[in-house]
Amino acid sequence: MDASEQIKRFEEFLDINYKSEILQNVQSDKSFLIIDFNELLKFDPNLAEELLEQPEEIIKAAELAVENFDLQDIDRFKVRFNNIPNSQKVRIRDIRAKHLGIFVSLEGLVRQKSDVRPQVVASQFECPSCGNIINVLQVDTKFKEPSRCGCGRKGKFRLMKKELVDAQRIVLEESPENLEGSEQPKRISVFLKQDLVSPISEKKTNPGSKIQVIGIIREVPIVLRTGGTSTRYDLVFDSNFVVALEEDFTEINISKEDEEKIKTLAQDPKIFDKFLQSVAPSIYGHDRVKEALILQLFSGVQKERTDGVVTRGDIHVLLIGDPGAGKSQLLRRIQVIAPKGMYVSGKGATGVGLTASVVKDEFMRGYALEAGALVLANKGICCIDELDKMSSEDRSAMHEALEQQTVTVSKANIQATLLAKTTVLAAANPKFGRFDPYEMLAKQIELPPTLINRFDLIFPIRDLPDEKKDNKMASFILNIHKNLEAVQPAIDTELIKKYIAYSKQNTRPVLSSAALEEIKKYYVDLRNKGSSEEEVIRSIPISPRQLEALVRLSESSAKIRLAKKVTKADAKKAISLLHYCLTKVGVDKETGKIDIDRIATGVGATQRSKIIIVREIITDMENKGIKTIPIEDILREAEEKGISESDVEESIEKLKRSGDLFEPRRGYIQKI
């Protein structure tokens, strides 16, 4: 089929199928048309076949056919093709020389994105001798000038005008789920031009989005340092169309049929129990943890106040447990059932890998932002395993992302604030491998107190021998190994995803006065329970951070039922979960009271009051004129105030570590 016939066939095809659409697009200032490949296949199989083999010619023919319609302002009109057959789908790692120049589609995650910059596509030159106008199409990366004119003149032509289009480069990387074993994900540069970089399509190609690009793979010559061209070529992908594949919960399409199923499920009084059975059916026990994970998946409501302060709605959960208790299994399962999930593991995750890094951009010259896991999982869930194995600098990068839900980057010449509205589910092991039942929890976790404090719920997962429980657990695990179909979730995984997405899209429950009273009563009672004024320092059982956590948990409980109001029952569920966590990790064994500082700072109120008494004794002695104080004198004074020798030694050790005291000679201390 020659070129004129191709244009003619396209004119017929567009006239029958797309004439009204072209008119609409031209009127609304859209200079592109999206054609469904299947429509073209029905109309003319040969033309469709040729499109796959020689896309450049056919796309040009289609664009010329559009221009032949007698319409105004139809300059530089683009034709885009969608739904090309699966046979044209290529994995990035499988691209070979035979794929060059044919129409293919690639899938992957956007890892990097450059700025939008103008690019020259055509230029006009005037010959100073004869006034002839020479048009030059700019197809290469290098700007081309005409070599000679018809009148015989060579060189020194005057540039009259040049035609520019917007261009942008993104880096596409293979999706992790398509990789096998130890394969490293491969990347390719993708060029987007004209309407593909409009503000509407910008959202599709943000780092972290999963997209499908349809277009042509081209080779780009590599210029050597000597100035010559290398025999090896680089690959770039010239895109014709971009389709967003997986977005966050806001983008999941829910059909009418699914909506009916979801609404029917929501009416079920045992909906919460059904979710409990479906979250991780292959893991035995851990019911309280599973309850928390369900609430975490639905999350609370994000609120923006009139003064611009945003309160997060995401619930962060930390699981600390003995090895082999099934923490990683839980994390993996949550990643699967969440509408958008990422999984990272401690030793392999760095600070920039979690937040964002700035990389040098070769093509557009300058720097580009590369998003890390917490940013990629925006509006989704990020499961971080082995949190304790990460280095302290890398962990410190998470502080801002957990509370403010943003990631601020100030590197090279880039100052940016990226959104990270991400729910975090983290798992860690105690410092010595297993829990020490007699030691304070904060001392056993090698995590900074400020980071621990940002988790709404902290679950210690203990693995203690118990004959009855062990018997059931062993039967359960062995039964699964014997029969893979033994455990079936009560709700299908795909439906869970859609249910969570539907709930997040459509429900914003409000606290009822009964629920509000319930939470307030629990908070005030717990803070003031059994505390007497004589205590030097009162233990603080619960802080305002936990109060916000209670609100989020109760809102999430209402979201499961797709309810508009948070009831007293929801508040009670939230309180029971939080109380369970506090009693497990925050009880001071000396007083038997809950003390939030044991979790948050590692120094409980009783211990802090002892340190203050010891410091007072040292100050008194110093005021009497004794500069170098014998430790024996301090022990004697402290004993009169009812503090044991070991406690005094521990307090002195803590003060020495904090830099308040030093030991000039053995057995004596002095204030700094």
DSSP string, 555-608: HHHHHHTT-SEE-HHHHHHHHHHHHHHHHHH-B-TTT--B-HHHHHTS--HHHH
How big is the chain by its Cα radius of gyration, in Å?
A: 33
Digit-coded pLDDT (tens) for 388-415: 777 777 777 777 778 788 788 777 677 7
* The pLDDT value given to residue 415: 75
Size (the chain), residues: 672
Digit-coded pLDDT (tens) for 309-352: 888 888 888 888 777 777 778 888 888 777 777 788 776 666 66
Residue 636 to residue 613: CA distance in whole angstroms: 13
* The pLDDT value given to residue 591: 55
* The pLDDT value given to residue 201: 66
- The average pLDDT across 170-182 equals 72
Strands (E), 75-175: 78-82, 103-113, 117-126, 133-137, 158-173
> 189: closest CA among 114, 275, 284, 83?
114
For the domain made up of 88-246, the CATH class stated in words is: mainly beta
Angle 276-280-285 from CA coordinates, rounded to 5°:
70
* The pLDDT value given to residue 75: 66
- Which CATH architecture does the domain made up of 256-503 adopt? 3-Layer(aba) Sandwich (3.40)
Q: Which of the four pLDDT bands, split at 50, 70 and 90, describes residue 597?
A: low
CB-based contacts of 328, cutoff 8 Å, min separation 6: 385, 427
Q: Is the pLDDT score of 192 beyond 70?
A: yes
Paired sense of beta strands 423-428 and 381-385, if any: parallel
- Per-residue b/e over 58-76, b at no fewer than 16 CB within 10 Å? bbebbbbbbeeeeeeebee
Q: Is the pLDDT score of 474 beyond 70?
A: yes
- The average pLDDT across 382-392 equals 80
Report which residue type is found at 344: V
Domain ranges, ordered by start, for the chain = 3-83, 88-246, 256-503, 510-600, 605-671
Chain centre distance of CA 14: 42
Does the domain spanning 605-671 belong to CATH 1.20.1260.10? no
Q: Is the pLDDT score of 608 beyond 70?
A: no
- Which CATH architecture does the domain made up of 3-83 adopt? 2-Layer Sandwich (3.30)
* The pLDDT value given to residue 228: 78
Does the domain spanning 510-600 belong to CATH 1.10.8? yes
The dihedral built from the CA positions of residue 134, 139, 140 and 143, taken in this order, carries a sign that is: positive
- The average pLDDT across 245-249 equals 60
Q: Is the pLDDT score of 642 beyond 60?
A: yes
Q: Which of the four pLDDT bands, split at 50, 70 and 90, describes residue 251?
A: low
Residue 348 to residue 590: CA distance in whole angstroms: 40
Largest CA distance in the chain: 113
Expressed in percent and rounded to 5, the helix, strand and coil fractions of the chain are 40, 25, 35
Digit-coded pLDDT (tens) for 275-288: 787 777 777 777 88
Q: What does the mean pLDDT of the chain come to?
A: 78
Q: What DSSP designation does 154 have? A: B
DSSP string, 520-536: HHHHHHHHHTT--TT-S
End-to-end CA distance of the chain: 93
> 273: closest CA among 257, 289, 287?
287
